[in-house]
Amino acid sequence: MREKTNLYLLTGFLGAGKTTLLTNILEDLSGEKVGVIMNEFGKVSIDGNIIRKDGIELVEINRGSIFCSCLKISFAQAMMDMADRGLKYLFVESSGLADPSNIGEILNAVKEFKGDVYEYRGAICLVDGVHFMEQINDLDTVERQIKHCHLAVISKVDLINESTLEKIKSKIREINGVVEIQTSVFGKLNYDFLKKDLMKNQWAEGENSINTPENKLKSLTLTFQGQVKKEDLTRFIDKISGNAYRIKGFFNLDDGWNQVDVVNRRIDYKLSDKNETESQLVIISKIGPAIIKNIFDAWNEVIGQEMKLRN
Amino acid sequence: MKIKILGTGCDKCEKLEANVKEVLSTLGIEARVDKVEDLVQIMKYGIMTTPGLVVDEKVVSYGKVLKPKDIAKILENYR
């Protein structure tokens, strides 16, 4: 059997410098057979001529929003196409794939059709040196990307001072205790990581093990203004309860205010004389932050109206 | 008649499912409608984009949300 293709995921918020970094990595790897899958919407693509010259295979996925789960198929298709090209490296540049539970699902699908062709070597997260400290306060995405990456690269360090850099580093450490941190200027980077075993820097999946500080239970609160049908709430809960230890709260349903109590997959409703201003469910995750996407997907699918989810 | 909606859980798939159900009740067709959300299962039907519509294990449409009148035309052939 031929050698497996080394697969890397490149994440990072808009403007952090993913494309710049990727262009540099590709330059460094000229001579190797490299593939790139890009899925960012409305993004300037890497110069096609450079790519052809270096024999790099490029697939761009940009029909539709990166937030649409329909794109999973396009990803799997693209990875299957790439599987036939005998690549040494495949880089997937994507903020949409920031959640690694996605990459697992896609890899499984590819495996089903093409065999075990990819070796997932890790996620590299670009951290915007200039904007990170603001982004981290407002954007859960940025936090999730850091939590799920194996190598964090702080970009644009020539534009920030030493104390800001230290603040960024300690913030990253706070979110992800084992990630390797590097810095970069103009997308230049030490490419040693291609030889290293980044997967040993796995942090977020360690949530299920008992010996990491991250093991503390993840609890989320969903709030909602308005009323839904009991059967719809049941459908929603059925879609997430497998991933939750416990779900409880009060909800405004078509037959009135109900106390909702979920243990494992069992849902109990009890009519309540409470008259709250908004419905509220507390969800204790079994799978750490990965449940966040599960909750949003299930809610959008079944109910679709605006709700708020917070830590 | 067995109908399957192939979709990974996006709005378009929901819309297609709703349209199919609407047509079934308008035409009074008895059919079982299942949703297929598993990536591998969907890809086994060989479609490139979702949502997909499968009638009696045959892919009749993919990559678009069919309007009720188009669904009606297709389903008439399977009655």
DSSP string over A101-153: HHHHHHHHHHHHHH-S-EEEEEEEEEEETTTHHHHHHH-HHHHHHHHT-SEEE
pLDDT over 70, % of chain A: 79
Q: pLDDT at residue A182 above 80?
A: yes
| B39 closest CB neighbour out of A68, A109, A300 | A109
Closest residue, chain B, to A63 (C-alpha): B49
CATH superfamily of A5-208: P-loop containing nucleotide triphosphate hydrolases (3.40.50.300)
- Asked whether the predicted pLDDT for residue B17 surpasses 80, the reply is yes
pLDDT of residue A2: 66
Q: How confident is the model at residue A99 (pLDDT cuts 50, 70, 90)?
A: low
Q: Measured between alpha carbons, how far is A265 from B52 in angstroms, rounded to an integer?
A: 30
At A167, is the secondary structure helix, strand, or coil? Answer: helix
Query: Which tops the pLDDT comparison, A67 or A300?
Result: A300
Q: What pLDDT sits at residue A62?
A: 59
ipTM entry: 0.70
Of the pLDDT bands very low, low, confident and very high (cuts 50, 70, 90), residue B21 is very high
Sequence ranges of chain A with CATH classification 3.40.50.300: 5-208
Residue A237 pLDDT > 80: yes
Min Cα distance A206 → chain B (Å) is 26
Please give the mean pLDDT across all residues of chain A. 79
The pLDDT value recorded for residue A75 is 81
- Name the closest residue on chain A to residue B11, using Cα atoms: A301
Q: How far is CA B33 from CA A130, A213, B36, in A?
A: 52, 46, 10
> Cβ contact (<8 Å) for A73 and B9?
no
Mean pLDDT of A282-299: 85
The CA distance from A97 to the nearest CA of chain B, in Å, is 15
Q: Which residue in A63, A65, A73 has the most chain B C-beta atoms within 10 A of its own C-beta, making it the best mutation to test that interface?
A: A73
Is B10 a catalytic site residue?
yes
Interval B39-56: pLDDT, tens:
888 888 888 778 899 999
Catalytic site includes residue B13: yes
Total number of residues shown for chain B: 79
The residues that bridge with A197 in the sheet, in sequence order, are: none
Of B40, B43, B50, the CB nearest to A70: B50
Residue A214 phi, psi (nearest 5)? -70, -5
Give A60 or A259, the one with higher predicted confidence. Answer: A259
- In chain B the domains, ranked by start, together with CATH numbers, are 2-76 (3.40.30.10)
Check CB contact under 8 Å for B49 and A106: no
Q: Mean pLDDT in chain B?
A: 90
- Asked if residues A24 and A189 have their Cβ atoms less than 8 Å apart, the reply is yes
Question: What CATH number was assigned to the domain covering residues A217-310?
Answer: 3.30.1220.10
> CB–CB of A36/A91 below 8 Å?
yes
Q: Which of B1, B10, B18, B39 is catalytic?
A: B10
Every domain range in chain A assigned CATH 3.30.1220.10: 217-310
